[in-house]
Amino acid sequence: MPKPNLIFYCELDETGLLNLFTGGRVVSILEQLGAGVSLGILDLSDTRADIVRSLNDANIPVIAWLLLPKEQGYWFNSGNWPYAQQRYNAFKEWSAKHNLKWAGIGLDIEPDRNEMEQAINSGWLGALRILRRGFTQDDGQTRATFAYEQLIAQMRYDGYHIDVYHFPTIIDERRANSYTISRILGLIDVPADREVLMLYSSFLSEWGVGALWSYAPQAQSIGVGSTGGGVDIGELQDKVLPWDEFERDLILASYHTSTVHIFSLEGCVNQGYLEKLLTVDWKKEVSIPRDDATQVDRIRMLLRMVLWLSARPRMLMWGTVLLYFIFRNKRK
């Protein structure tokens, strides 16, 4: 397979950015790879603007991965859409002030970071509070979806290409015509010019490579990893792909998409992977995880059944009643 276009996520504060790009070695390798960067906009500082300009000068495409302050939820979701609009307005002013050039804007659709941390700390009671949302009708989800659609329309009018980073289960929800998981987690399904499915096999343990191969045919672009870095989310932070598995995931992803996103740039640098990417043989044969993918396919089929029924509670109720009478008559 031909070498795909590589885009590296980078999610560092000012100090981390300066340490990463000082000396020019990372920029030089990115140039050789012909790679781009999806840069997390953690702040609107002069330092971050200087880094973006240096990448602009090196003709490295930079996507503005918009993020919110931690107290506002960090990632974009159904609960913080007013902050998303404010963030975009501030981002435009900052970009104009520093004359920054962007290859696009990235929207990361994930649960509220604070809410997830509270749920983890509260144990099963916290989890139950979140799960209840999946079985309640909330106009807030509809309002948030409309607000994000309007925001994306404004971004496109301003000339930006839009990437959206999604959990892969969004594909199963669409097929089941049910958004139970999205309501539970506060996710939203919004239009994009390119949809990236986050298929980080390190986070899914033995199911990881099977999930990647199962979802890959439905992906416009695939996110692989993790090589480390990002937000501190407990044990997941320590699950770093070894090089052979990372290379395998890259090649498998390249079978299905011409653009592969890598999480993360700083992780690749710390693990010594960035230089190794220069010598990857993209025509190298790798084992296709058909058996693992078949197992994931079965799980996904069951998930879609549950999602379909969750969106049709009356049918679920009458089906349960019917099964009860069938079982009672058989016993008689």
Q: Hey, what amino acid is at 115?
A: E
Looking at residues 16-32, what average pLDDT do you find?
97
Is residue 262 within 8 Å of residue 224, measured between CB atoms?
A: yes
pLDDT given for residue 24 in this prediction: 95
For residue 123, name the pLDDT band (cuts at 50, 70, 90).
Answer: low
Contacts of 66 (CB under 8 A, 6+ apart): 41, 76, 84, 87, 88, 91, 105, 106, 107, 108
Tens digits of residue pLDDT in 152-195: 999 999 999 999 999 999 999 999 999 889 988 999 999 899 99
Of 78, 138, 130, 134, nearest in space to 107 by CA: 78
Is residue 229 within 8 Å of residue 267, measured between CB atoms?
A: yes
Neighbour-count burial of 32, counting CB atoms closer than 10 A to its CB (0-12 exposed, 13-18 middle, 19+ buried): exposed
* Cα dihedral sign, 100-103-105-108: negative
Q: In the structure encoding, which two tokens stand for residue 53, read together?
A: 């300009």
pLDDT given for residue 9 in this prediction: 98
- Residues linked to residue 221 through DSSP beta bridges, in sequence order: 196
CATH code assigned to 5-331: 3.20.20
Q: Taking all residues of the chain, what is their mean pLDDT, rounded to a whole number?
A: 89
Q: In the structure encoding, which two tokens stand for residue 5, read together?
A: 């276009």
**Domain definitions of the chain by residue range:** 5-331
Tens digits of residue pLDDT in 234-251: 555 568 999 999 999 999
pLDDT given for residue 310 in this prediction: 81
Q: Is the peptide bond before 226 cis (omega within 30 degrees of 0)?
A: yes
For residue 109, name the pLDDT band (cuts at 50, 70, 90).
Answer: very high
pLDDT given for residue 113 in this prediction: 87
For residue 138, name the pLDDT band (cuts at 50, 70, 90).
Answer: low
Q: What is the dihedral of CA 111, 300, 238, 65, to 10 degrees?
A: -40
Query: What is the distance between the alpha carbons of residues 207 and 292, in angstroms, rounded to a whole number?
Result: 7
Q: What ranges in 123-195 are assigned the alpha helix state H? A: 124-132, 139-157, 169-176, 180-185
Q: Is 38 helix (H, G, I), strand (E, B) or coil?
A: strand
Q: Is 111 helix (H, G, I), strand (E, B) or coil?
A: coil
Contacts of 225 (CB under 8 A, 6+ apart): 9, 200, 202, 241, 246, 249, 262, 263, 264, 267
pLDDT given for residue 319 in this prediction: 45
- Among 82-91, 98-107, 126-135, 203-212, which is the least confidently predicted range? 126-135
